[in-house]
Structures are given as structure tokens and as C-alpha cells.
Chains A and B, each alone.
Chain A
Amino acid sequence: MSEMPTIRVVDVHKRFGALEVLKGVSFDVHRGNVVSMIGASGSGKSTLLRCINHLETPTAGDIFIEGESLCFRGDATGSRKPRPLAEINRMRRDLGTVFQQFNLWPHMTVLGNVIEAPNRVRGLSRKAAAELGAECLARVHLEDKALEYPARLSGGQQQRVAIARALAMQPKVMLFDEPTSSLDPELTDEVLSVMRELAADGTTMIVVTHEMGFAREVSDRVMFLHNGLIEEEGPPEQMFGAPRSERYRQFIAKHLH
């Protein structure tokens, strides 16, 4: 594809003190793609996702969102400086993030959670935001819970609210950080099916997950991370049908039932 990638990650390194967690990761994500990142814990996949929305600052390398650098900006003289927080926040509006722990705000209703950012960050009026919020809640099949407080919802429902909250910003990319890892097995299906619907709608998604079934059925591309590097990547048929590297083969053998 010749159009500009929605997300371009270039040689990202991330070091925490003496520990280097990401050792030079590069890849592109184009519009409409669903990319799954799999790997053992400690492989750096969550860190990579958190670099993409700048919750972590890469130690080296850069990330481009529709061509615009997330980490740096050029000034008048042409030299590059770290991008200030205000601009990073502006760019974050185009990224929706769903966390493993849901991270809903307990003192607001479900609807309140969903419309908070559209109202206060994008500046939508309360009314417009509420309509938008209702639509997003309908997409995750939770319209009837709009006035409940998060504490009263099950884990699966809370995560779907979190998805609606991320959708409400009408982002260019949805980032999912192990969205079902905190859920009881009975509750993961409702979340995964919502994610399937989003993928079918053409949402650009990057999903860090342990759910191999989802990765195989829904993604356009699967990336296997190991020790801070992309060990192997490719379309699901190849990744699950014909694994090439030995480490990846071992990983697959352990995780596929």
C-alpha cells in the first residue's frame, strides 16, 4: 500500500534504568488493519503499546501518527526537540486506549465516563457529547447501563464501557493492552465479540493479547515479540500454520490449546 501508514514505529528502544525492554522495534500499521501482538510476559509488548500513546517515552527511536512525529518536533531552525506535553495530548486524542484494568473513573456514571473526554478535551457541548456517548454505548451493547456507576457492573461490562469511552474520541487507532487478561473466562467472550465487531467495521486496531483464537481469526497481521524485538511477524495463516523461528514455535506450542 502506498498511502501513509496510520502508525509507523521506527527503531524504538526503551530502557528502564539498566534494563532494556525494547531493543529496536519497527513496524507499520495501515488504516483498517488489525494487528495483534503476542509474546511471553516481559517481552515488551505492553511497553511498546504504551510508547505508542506516550505513556512511556522511548529512549530512542520515534513513532509517527499519520506522518506526524509523536516524540519530537522540528522548530524554526530545523533542529529536533522533544515534543511538549500539550502537543502530545493533542495527538493522544486520535488514539483510543483500552487497559487491562479497565481504569474507569468510579465517581462518574457510565455515560459520564464516556462523554468526559469528548466534552472536556474535544470541546463538544454536553448535549452533543451525550448523543455521541449513547451511540458508542450502543456499539458495545450497553445503552441501558448509561446511568449506572461502574462499581455496579461486571468486569466484562466495565471493559466494554472502557471500549466505548475510547471510541467516543473517534480515534484513528484503537490500542488494546491485554483487554481480557483481568476478566473471568465467562466474561471474556462478550468483550472479544465487541472487538470482533469493531474489526469488522474497519477500525484500525493494535491488540496486545494472550487470546490466540482472537489473534488468529480477526487480525490481518500477528507480531510475536521476544526479548524486546519482533522475532516473527506475518499474516495469521502463516503465523499459526507455519511458524518459522524455533522460539516462536515453542511459544505457540505452549499457548495454543
Chain B
Amino acid sequence: MSESLQQVLDVSVFWEYRTVLLRGLAVNFYVFACAAALALSLGLGAALLRISRRRLLRWVGTVHVEIFRNAPDYIMVVWVHFVLPLLIGTLLHTRFELNPFVSAIVALGFVYSGYFAETFRAGIEAVPGGQIEAGRSCGMSERLILWRIVLPQVVRRMLPESINQFISLFKATTIVSLIAVPDLMYQVSMIIQQEMRPLPLYTGAAIVYFAVILVASYALRAASERWRNKIFA
């Protein structure tokens, strides 16, 4: 066991490949950023649909949320990457292929839009109705009220919960290694195939993610607390 322990703690292999691994981590961030942007916009759209006055729109929003909130990330990534191109190809009568980056971003973006939709909806419904009436009384249009009064408060109110969801999304980006997107885990598995030394590499990867996420979550929470305290004093 001690020999294995020594192997585990041998960081030299990690250090040797640090550029490649760092580039892999950067890919994680890149996929995260794009998927997050997609998830936020779709999530906001779905939330607005769910509070719409028309029943059909409400239903569409609910279906979207229920499908994607309950779908496992991995199966969605696989489905988007392998099935969707075939479906599109049949539709367009041509051979269609999806870049694995695109599949990853689309799949994760849609799945997490389900979570963000619920977060947005809860936040929107939590804005006191009186403030909306005050806006209407000044002659503000519903759209102006949404963008200037409701959403700014939704963002501030739901920030803590959203941070949790962002962190989940970032953790989920490791899945993309399984469809050959060159993120950190993918690089790790490539190196392991070459160097045949899984112990320090897997352990190192775990520690890297742990460190990144720990630091990020503390920093984000601290920043959000200070920002929120200004108005929710």
C-alpha cells in the first residue's frame, strides 16, 4: 500500500504534462461558459413561458422544463452527439455531423436550462406584486416592467441558488471527455494510456477540480453576498 501511496503522491507526472492539462482545464471552462450562456437564455425563456397568460405557452414551458430537468446529462450528451445529426441529416437529405464541442454545449445547455427555468420562475414569482403595480401606475409597459424591475431583482435574489447550479454545470463538463472533447479528463485519460500511471493522474485530477471549484464557489458566494446586501439590507 505504501508503494501505491508513494505513486499517488508522485506529482512529477502531473507537472510534466502541466501545459496539456491546463489546456484541458481551459476547455472545461470554455464549454462551461458557452453552455451556461445557452442554459440561462433558454431557462429565462422557459420561465417566461411558464408564467404566460396563454395556456399553450405555459404547457410548452412546462414540457421543456420537465424533460430537461429530469434527463441525465450523459444520455443527453450522447443523444445529441449521435442521434441528432442523423435526424437532421434525414430532414435535410444530407449527411450531417456535429462537432463534439457543439454537441456538448447544446446538450448541457438544454439540460441545465431546465434547472435555471425553475430558479428564474421562483425568483419572478417572489417579486412583490406591489412593485409591479407601481410600475403599471406610471404607465410602464409590461416589457419595461419585466426588464427594469422584475429581472434585476430576480438576478439578485436567486444568485446563491444559481451559483450552485453553475457549479453543477461546471462539474458536468467533465462528461464531454467521453465524446472526445479534449478537456482535462480527456487529456488525463490520454496520458494514462501513454504513461500507464493512473494513480497520480486520477488523484491529481480530483484535486485540481476540488481546488478550482472550492475557490470559485467561495469567491462567488462572497462577491454575491456583498452585492446583495446593498439592497436586501
Residues of A participating in the B interface, judged by any CB pair closer than 8 Å: 53, 55, 85-86, 89-93, 95-97, 99, 101, 103-107, 116-117, 120-121, 149, 151-152, 162, 165-166, 169, 175
The complex places the Cα of A148 from the Cα of B128 at a distance, in Å, of 21
Q: Is the interface of A mostly helix, strand, loop or mixed?
A: mixed
**Are B144 and A120 in touch, CB under 8 angstroms?**
yes
**Are A117 and B138 in touch, CB under 8 angstroms?**
yes
- Shortest C-beta distance, A8 to chain B (Å), equals 20
The complex places the Cα of A86 from the Cα of B141 at a distance, in Å, of 7
Q: With a CB–CB cut-off of 8 A, which chain B residues contact A96? A: 137-138
Say which residue of B139, B156, B231 sits within 8 Å of A117 (CB atoms): B139
Say which residue of A89, A99, A107 sits within 8 Å of B130 (CB atoms): A99
Q: What is the chain A residue whose CB lies nearest that of B144?
A: A120
Q: With a CB–CB cut-off of 8 A, which chain B residues contact A89? A: 136, 139-141
The 9 A-B pairs of least Cβ separation, nearest first, read A117-B138, A97-B137, A103-B134, A92-B139, A93-B139, A103-B130, A151-B233, A89-B139, A106-B231
Q: With a CB–CB cut-off of 8 A, which chain A residues contact B137? A: 53, 55, 92, 95-97, 166, 175
**Are A117 and B152 in touch, CB under 8 angstroms?**
no
- Shortest C-beta distance, B169 to chain A (Å), equals 26
The complex places the Cα of A86 from the Cα of B139 at a distance, in Å, of 9
Q: Which of B88-128 contact A (CB under 8 A)?
A: 128
Interface string of B160-189 (1 = CB under 8 A from A): 000000000000000000000000000000
Q: What is the chain B residue whose CB lies nearest that of A122?
A: B139
- Is B54 an interface position by the 8 A CB rule? no
**Are A107 and B138 in touch, CB under 8 angstroms?**
no
- Shortest C-beta distance, A208 to chain B (Å), equals 14
13 CB-based A-B contacts, threshold 8 Å: A53-B137, A93-B139, A97-B134, A97-B137, A97-B138, A99-B134, A103-B130, A103-B131, A105-B131, A107-B152, A120-B140, A121-B139, A121-B140
**Are B138 and A149 in touch, CB under 8 angstroms?**
no
- Is B230 an interface position by the 8 A CB rule? yes
Also in contact, A151 and B138, with CB within 8 A (given A99-B130, A106-B153, A120-B148): no
Q: With a CB–CB cut-off of 8 A, which chain A residues contact B156? A: 107
Also in contact, A93 and B128, with CB within 8 A (given A116-B148, A149-B230): no
Say which residue of A95, A101, A151 sits within 8 Å of B231 (CB atoms): A151
**Are A105 and B144 in touch, CB under 8 angstroms?**
no
**Are B232 and A93 in touch, CB under 8 angstroms?**
no
Q: With a CB–CB cut-off of 8 A, which chain A residues contact B135? A: 105, 117
Also in contact, A92 and B138, with CB within 8 A (given A107-B152, A151-B231): yes
Q: Which of B203-233 contact A (CB under 8 A)?
A: 230-233
Q: With a CB–CB cut-off of 8 A, which chain A residues contact B11? A: none
Q: With a CB–CB cut-off of 8 A, which chain A residues contact B128? A: 101, 103
**Are B139 and A169 in touch, CB under 8 angstroms?**
yes
Also in contact, A93 and B138, with CB within 8 A (given A105-B131, A107-B156, A120-B144): yes
Given contacts A93-B139, A121-B144, A169-B139, 7 further A-B contacts (CB under 8 A): A53-B136, A55-B136, A89-B141, A96-B137, A120-B144, A149-B230, A151-B233
- Shortest C-beta distance, B142 to chain A (Å), equals 8
The complex places the Cα of A162 from the Cα of B133 at a distance, in Å, of 13
The complex places the Cα of A19 from the Cα of B92 at a distance, in Å, of 59
Q: What is the chain B residue whose CB lies nearest that of A55?
A: B133
Q: With a CB–CB cut-off of 8 A, which chain A residues contact B152? A: 107
Best-surrounded residue of A85, A99, A105, A151 (most CB of chain B within 10 A): A105
The complex places the Cα of A165 from the Cα of B135 at a distance, in Å, of 11
